[in-house]
Chains A and B, each alone.
Chain A
Amino acid sequence: MVTTTPPIRNSRRAEGASRPGDKVFLGLSRGSGITLLVIMAAIAVFLTYRAVLAISQDSTNFLTTSEWNPAGQPPVFGIAVLAFGTVVSSIIAMVIAVPVAIGIALFISHYAPRKLAKPLAYVVDLLAAVPSIIYGLWGAIFLVPYLGGLNKWLDDYMGWTYIFDKSSDGVARSLFTVGILLAIMILPIITNVTREVFLQVPKMHEEAALALGATRWEVIRMSVLPFGRSGIISASMLGLGRALGETMAVAVVLSPSFVISGHLLDPGGGTFAQNIAAKFNEANEFGRDALIASGLVLFVITLLVNGAARWIIGRRKEYSGAAA
């Protein structure tokens, strides 16, 4: 008894002494958590309210209309072109960026000698830090004129696919160019995240393949890629999120129009973010509400994409490398 008393007293005292601090911290963290939630809820309610106001005044179907004239009598506006342009340019960006990013990440993590890997990883890090308006200006000044040749080649040899059939002349201020620019913009982030994942593949998984007589590529196929799978998906989603919401670069490069065209090389089209940036200043209050409504749709699309990614990652959880 005698020997056990002092520690108990000590611990009591220690607890007592830290209690006010605990309370302050608890109150602080709880308070800021609640504040954050309240602010977010307020924003959501406000945006939804304004959006509903606008949509209820829309004289056509908001989802299927390819026109944007909220100031008209009656107001006519819809997001069909914007949804099409956003999704198509993002798909182009992903199709180009994901494989290239995986390739670069594998090269840095598994092929390049250390002397080369370090600076290369550093350069990719730098690219991720370039502001998007710089990419946009570069796209408008360099990419648009120089893509003329590629567009002509695609038109000549791949025109039969319809999507690469260039039906009008004019510079390459097209969804295709936007897609390429977006691919370049999201490449660094996807590369960085996948590289980190590839570097974390446990050595024992790679050695398992090596000891069976796997070549370097077979090690990557058997151990590295399966282990990195969920990381690749997460990285792609980060990139996709950026591509879907990219504003300035698209606004600078695209010559907007309100037609849905499957000819991806033709100038024209639009995206949610680009349309908001282009219209917001000159819009009256109702016009702004309409733009807010389109922004909400973008938000929903982003949520859906993320949900789908989570579902894909979760579906084969018991097989995921993280479980072992």
Chain B
Amino acid sequence: MAKRIDVSGLSAYYGAHKAIDDISMTVEPRSVTAFIGPSGCGKSTFLRTLNRMHEVTPGGRVEGKVMLDDENLYGSHVDPVAVRRTVGMVFQRPNPFPTMSIFDNVAAGLRLNGKYKKSQLSEIVERSLKGANLWNEVKDRLNKPGSGLSGGQQQRLCIARAIAVEPDVLLMDEPCSALDPISTLAIEDLIGELKERFTIVIVTHNMQQAARVSDRTAFFNLAAVGQPGKLIELDDTERIFSNPSVQATEDYISGRFG
């Protein structure tokens, strides 16, 4: 299921403003890659080009290529809706469907994809909630609204919803930034488990988090405000945090930045 992502020469625009410039990188299957970099350098923008969510923004435009194994996501015959069904996404702020029950939230993606029998649905919902380490906390109230959970539980519900459809890739944009340290730890553990099955890309502002959860780390930077963001370097996480090859990376990591 997990697939390799191969990006080449990718630039993204908001109207006339170029937000990221000429990014190329490879993300191995069954690994966690962390994106770090200062605010505004285009981490979220880049992440959203990987499931074609960028073009949903008015004026959003992408140039370049994103290969998922051997399929170009920006090929002329590719349907962005189909892409989003195979590349899942978890957002910064937990966003369960407020009008749906916990069960329906997890089943939402499945119901979009096709017909399932009730028993099949229950089975997948249970498996996904277990996969997101949420099952024990919600198994007695599956019919209650998802918006009634705590922030950390809601975020895990969103993860359950994303993995229920068995995506090839899981994108996470600062999934812990709205959470307390305990919930954060729970989600970090979860990421460690999920990488057995998925290719995971995570944006984070938390260096320790990047060091804890990721195998590879990509550092993004921008020359000046208003300039497009660029990929500065991508390497094994250990290397990035101990002995990066670019001076700017070391400055950023050690806090000697800007």
Contacts and interface: CB of A to CB of B under 8 A. Distances in A.
B98 A213 contact: no
A319 B56 contact: no
A98 B84 CA distance: 33
Task: Name, among B95, B112, B147, the residue most crowded by chain A CB atoms within 10 Å (CB to CB).
Answer: B95
Contact residues on A (Cβ < 8 Å of other chain), bracket? 20 to 34
A320 B99 CA distance: 5
B97 A209 contact: yes
Interface string B6-22: 00000000000000000
B5 to A, nearest CB: 16
Contacts of B81: 213-215
A213 B99 contact: no
Contact of B82 (A213, A320, A321): A213
A222 B108 contact: yes
A208 interface: yes
Contacts of B99: 226-227, 229, 319-321
| Residue among A212, A214, A226, A319 facing the most chain B CB atoms (10 A cut-off) | A212
B53 A212 contact: no
B68 to A, nearest CB: 14
Interface string A290-324: 00000000000000000000000000001111011
A207 B95 contact: yes
B145 A212 contact: no
B85 to A, nearest CB: 3
A30 interface: no
Given A209-B97, A320-B98, A204 B161 contact: no
Given A204-B91, A208-B91, A320-B98, A213 B148 contact: no
A207 B91 contact: yes
B133 interface: no
B53 A218 contact: no
B109 interface: yes
A205 interface: yes
A1 interface: no
Contacts of A213: 81-86, 109, 112-113, 165
B41 to A, nearest CB: 21
A226 B51 CA distance: 25
Nearest to B58: A114
Interface in A180-210: 204-205, 207-210
A319 B88 CA distance: 25
A151 interface: no
A279 to B, nearest CB: 48
Nearest to B171: A211
Contact of A211 (B58, B84, B96, B148): B84
B12 to A, nearest CB: 17
A205 B97 contact: yes
A223 interface: yes
A324 B158 CA distance: 14
The 3 A-B residue pairs with the shortest CB-CB distance in the complex, in nearest-first order:
A213-B85, A226-B99, A324-B98
7 contacts: A205-B97, A207-B95, A210-B84, A212-B84, A218-B112, A319-B147, A324-B98
Given A208-B97, A213-B83, 12 more contacts: A204-B93, A205-B98, A207-B56, A207-B95, A212-B109, A212-B165, A213-B86, A214-B81, A222-B100, A318-B148, A319-B101, A323-B147
Interface of B: 51, 53, 56, 58, 81-86, 88-89, 91, 93, 95-101, 108-109, 112-113, 144-145, 147-148, 158, 161-162, 165
